[in-house]
Structure 1
Amino acid sequence: MAIDVTVLRVFTDSDGKFGNPLGVVDNSTVDPADRQRIATELGYSETIFIDVPPPGGTSAQARIYTPAAEMAFAGHPTVGASWWLRETGKPVKTLHVPAGIVQVEYDGDLAAVSARSEWAPEFAIHDLSSTDELMAAQPDDFSDDVENYLWTWIDQDQGIMRSRMFAPHLGIPEDEATGAAAVRMTDYLSRDLKIIQGKGSVIHTRWSPEGWVRVAGRVVNDGSTQLD
């Protein structure tokens, strides 16, 4: 039986451009043993499998996979899934992932999640001197066994930064928009941020001294595809 996959772009700019593709799958339609195969075949940086809540439910369970491995938490899948649940008439207040309980908010056209900074994986953080240096970087310039996060300020006073992320060991040569890295960077810098990543994706974050980081972004629906 064919498996239906909704395809979203998460963390677009205000015009709906850019954003990181995400596959969304109703978990009830697949065998758990097939999740990794499906994520690998789709080839998106992440695919999320959701246990859709019953009518009136305010929480959902989810599992997240890259093309190579399962993730305990990731930002762009949880933001995208939260947006998708609202669009299908099932808005939630929490999303349960293996790392813990993600708090969900809706703010106009933005979907937002709040997560603990320690849920995000460790990144090798590279503070570069300029946007030119950042954009000239190539994945082969960095170790291929860790997630390499490259960044530089565009406007430090306003908290606006430019970034890229390479993670070949997860099957992601370059990630267009990385919510988990945004969580880490927000906690690392201890301030709210506007992150422009990849080709132009936009992530908004809010820092809390209690260790929670709110990650918000715009999402668009690019339709659907099917897998056998």
Structure 2
Amino acid sequence: MPRYTFYQADVFTDQAFGGNPLAVFPDADGLDTAQMQRIAREMNLSETTFVFPPGDPQADFKVRIFTPASELPFAGHPVVGTHWMLAHLGRIALTEPVTTVRLELGVGVRASALHVEDGRVTRVVMDHQRPQFGATASAEQVERLAHALNLSPAAITDTGWPVRVVSTGVWQLFVPVRSLADAQELGINRIDTGALGAIFAELDPETHCHDSVMVLTRETVQADADVHTRMFAPALGVGEDPATGSATGGLGAYLVEHGIVPATPPTTHLMAEQGLEIHRPSRLGIEVDGTPGNVEMVRVSGQVVPLLEGVLEW
């Protein structure tokens, strides 16, 4: 009878029952792709990770990431949470003040910096890919997008900022809105997912923006936050995501590239808040190297809280 131990933690938060929950299977040898997909569907979290010995000699571990519906090549809270959990389980030899660990992911080998105090990881800072900027939505597409999100077109166009596809590892669509109230009106049950998917296909025919959209506003709930976000990915089996590390990297690149926040070279430091509307408050640190027209690197950071452990057998 197959028997696998798993651990669950809340990522991008310093309190239990906040942030984005993640299941980690640290010893996944023997599981095939179909089994991992079934397990992720059973866990029913936005993502579940499976850890294997690395195939690439430059990596310390190989990690595969699954939503309830599909495998992802890269995602933020699974990378942050898996690093933290492996350190928590003693699988990583920690050196203060910073220990660098490299994971082999679907997008290649990516490094993260584990900040260590008194023998424990206090924060994980993950590298993203150099930003790539994709298609910008036309006026007609913005109008259709607004209706798909159940917003007035002015809620988007009044910002003066573009609706654009961006990637720092995963292509995603970024939609600015003029106010916190506009963002708070959103809800997965009010979204026309078919219309949204058609717009994804038009703007990004190859990956459909990985079927995900991040809505953002500079008006925030928390005084020390720089941006408020909501993330929807219904085609991936994730109605609303409480904390999205992959998209937050693209968000940082988007904000600096379009001058929505002033760049402070060499590194612009930002804080994003997410998940408040679904009672999973999350905080995601963003570091952006470069200036508009030359955004070189993005990093996303956060804290992790362990929550439970268990055994899956069948």
Report the TM-score, using the length of structure 2 for normalisation. Answer: 0.65
Amino acid at match of 1:152: T
Deviation at 1:104, TM superposition (A): 1.2
Residue 115 (1) aligns with residue 128 (2): yes
**Residues 1:141 and 1:123: Cα distance change in structure 2 (over 3 Å):** farther
What is the match of residue 43 of structure 2?
Answer: 42
What is the match of residue 23 of structure 1?
Answer: 23
Q: How does 1:45-124 map to 2 (within 5 A)?
A: 45-51=46-52, 59-91=60-92, 93-108=101-116, 109-116=122-129, 117=131, 118-124=167-173
Counterpart Cα distance in 2 of 1:62 and 1:213: 21
Q: 1:22-68: CA deviations, max 9, x gaps?
A: 01012225334311111111110001111257xxx971111101111
RMSD: 2.2
Larger RCO (CA under 8 A, 6+ residues apart): 1
Which one of the candidate residues 154, 164, 172 is aligned to 2:219?
Answer: 154
Q: Is 2:101–2:114's contact at 8 Å kept on the other side of the alignment?
A: no
What is the match of residue 197 of structure 1?
Answer: 274
2:171 alignment partner, SS class? coil
Pairs aligned (count): 223
Identity rate of aligned residues, in percent?
Answer: 30
Which one of the candidate residues 194, 216, 222 is aligned to 2:307?
Answer: 222
**Residues 1:130 and 1:119: Cα distance change in structure 2 (over 3 Å):** closer
Higher alpha-carbon Rg: 2
Counterpart Cα distance in 2 of 1:196 and 1:214: 16
What is the match of residue 208 of structure 1?
Answer: 289
**Residues 1:125 and 1:141: Cα distance change in structure 2 (over 3 Å):** farther
Counterpart Cα distance in 2 of 1:212 and 1:159: 21
Counterpart Cα distance in 1 of 2:60 and 2:212: 30
Deviation at 1:113, TM superposition (A): 1.0
Which one of the candidate residues 246, 252, 259 is aligned to 1:186?
Answer: 252
Counterpart Cα distance in 1 of 2:174 and 2:299: 20
Deviation at 1:130, TM superposition (A): 1.4
Q: Quick check: which one's strand share is greater?
A: 1
Deviation at 1:17, TM superposition (A): 5.2
Q: Is 1:3–1:29's contact at 8 Å kept on the other side of the alignment?
A: no
Q: 1:192-225: CA deviations, max 9, x gaps?
A: 3211101220100111236321111000111113
Question: Which deviates more, 210-219 or 65-74?
Answer: 210-219
For structure 1, which runs of at least 5 residues remain unmatched after alignment? Answer: none
1:83 alignment partner, SS class? helix
